[in-house]
Amino acid sequence: MNSELFQFSTTTVLLLMFAFYGGTYLLSRRIKHDANDADGFMVSNHRIGFGMGAASMTATWVWAASFYAAATSGYTYGVSGPLHYGFWGALMILFIYPFGRRFRELAPNAATLGELIHARHGASSQLILAFSNLLGSVISLMVNLTAAGALVSVLSPLSFQAGIVIAGLGVLSYTFYSGFRASVFTDFGQLMAMMAIAVVIIPAVLFAMGGPSVVVDNLSNLTSEQANLFSKEAFLHQGAPYFVAVLAYAIGNQTISQRLFAVDESHIKPTFITATISYGAIVIGLGMIGLMALTVGIEPLDGNMNNLIPQMVSTYLPPFFIGLFFILVIGSLSSTADSDLSALSAIMMADVYGKNIAKNRADPRKMLIIGRTTMIVATVLGMILASMSFDILVMLVFVGALWGAIVFPVIASCFWDRVTNAAFTWAVVAALLAFSVVRFELLPMTGALALGMELLASIGAGVVAGLMTFGFFGKRLGVLAFFIATAVIGWIGAGQLREYTVLLSSLTAYGVSTLVCIAISLASKERFDFDTIQQRVSDYNKPAEDDVPEGTLTAR
């Protein structure tokens, strides 16, 4: 460990973490609820107000990766790096709004998006979505615990593994009691602290380095691409893959859809707009710390990009500010880690048990046992995976690309009555296979194969543009945007996209899933009545019907 870096004593770090998690636990214990209220444990009975909803959405999206990966992006790609990370991430919060309105319209009593898909297609499609959410939330939990380990190991004599264990047990302690309610309730306080501290920390680092003039004077140390605000390399390697990945997060991530179903329906629009602005402002600012490090020639400690922000703060700021920063990062990663635990428990409670085991006759007491057991298992698994110290930015893009396979089938299923269960299932399977071939280079990306994948990726780019335009401006403009984007990317990308493996694999997943879903759907004569979804989705607070055994609940 570099001797120039400031470190707290072991006792100080333990006291800071105990104070944070102890205070959060005491706050969660103040939440009043029915001990058998499964809906409250999963979605707070769909009654979250605007203030709490916007704060929770922002705090959940501003997670450990928002610090570490945004800084990595600034350090790697220069001036445009933080903008690519913060702007596209903010836009994706806004992106889910128009589709979220449709999800709530179809299934106002849902706790998970999987419940809606189960009502639309049945078990196989729902379990595909549930599995992808389970995988994504476990990896997200791992990322946040990895960030905790990096923070503790840089700022104290404690080991990386010790930081992981303390953070994991701390988050579990307060989430275990009230589930989603505890996550939302504590998010509000955590966000207020994050915003206040970020406003202090970012300028403090800048002026401790010597002020804006030092950064400007050292811009000559950057390469031409790093100094270019419109860097092609930054866009193709970072901006575009992250844009595509976060688009998939907006649809596939249960932590987001869980809040969508929890917010009072009348507050959905202002909640998402406020969260969009708040996220962008916080994260772009934090990403600038990576750019500062690049301009003055700081080398990441031990060659690990996850150490970059703790290293900068430890190098340039006095102990009081370092303590504030410590709480800032612990609060940000905890706000998302508790959301991951809540999301995982809801998936197991509603998607696995409620729909596929209890067959809509779920015992709320068993649901709560399953939910809390899931939290314990997920925490242990997250600790094990976090100890392997994967690169945070790589994991983000990888999971987002995998989720890209489900985006079109999910959205199409909620608007188009011809999409079938087979279309949904085979679209996802085919897209994952194509993604794996490209992402892991199972076959050499040369010749006709590479050109074919580039054309599929061009269609994928058209799907991304078309879906976003459709969500905000309707079907006609959405179709127009699809064809224009496909043609432009096909013309520009042929022969070039193969050089950008992450982007090519992500867009290929979108393109393949769309083509397969449409082809199989058009071959079927089935039509679906969307009015039946609301009757098929469970309201776990509704009293049981007379012909149902006591202790069970039925779908409305």
Look at 33-42, 155-164, 235-244, 466-475 and tell me which has the smallest mean pLDDT.
33-42
| Residue 418 binned pLDDT confidence (cut-offs 50, 70, 90) | very high
Compute the distance between CA of residue 232 and CA of residue 300 in angstroms, rounded to an integer: 25
Tokens 């800084």 belong to: 71
Alpha-carbon gap, residue 148 to 279, rounded angstroms:
20
Q: What's the pLDDT tens digit per position in 392-416? A: 556 665 666 667 889 999 999 999 9
CB 112 within 8 A of CB 346: yes
Q: What is the pTM of this model?
A: 0.82
User: Quick one: pLDDT band at residue 550, thresholds 50, 70, 90?
Assistant: very low
Give the confidence band of 2 by pLDDT, cuts at 50, 70, 90: very low
Nearby residues of 111 by Cβ (< 8 Å), 6 or more positions away: 39, 42, 43, 258, 261, 346, 349, 350, 540
Q: Residue 537: its pLDDT value, please?
A: 82
- Residue 456 has a pLDDT of 96
- C-beta of residue 78 within 8 angstroms of C-beta of residue 234: yes
441-476 per-position pLDDT tens digit = 889 888 999 999 999 999 999 999 999 899 889 999
Per-residue b/e over 198-223, b at no fewer than 16 CB within 10 Å? beebbebbbebbeeeeebeebeeebe
C-alpha dihedral (246, 421, 368, 132), degrees to nearest 10: -30
Q: List pLDDT tens digits, range 232-277.
A: 888 887 788 777 777 777 777 778 888 888 888 888 888 888 888 8
Overall average pLDDT of the 530-540 stretch? 80
Residue 339 has pLDDT above 50, yes or no: yes
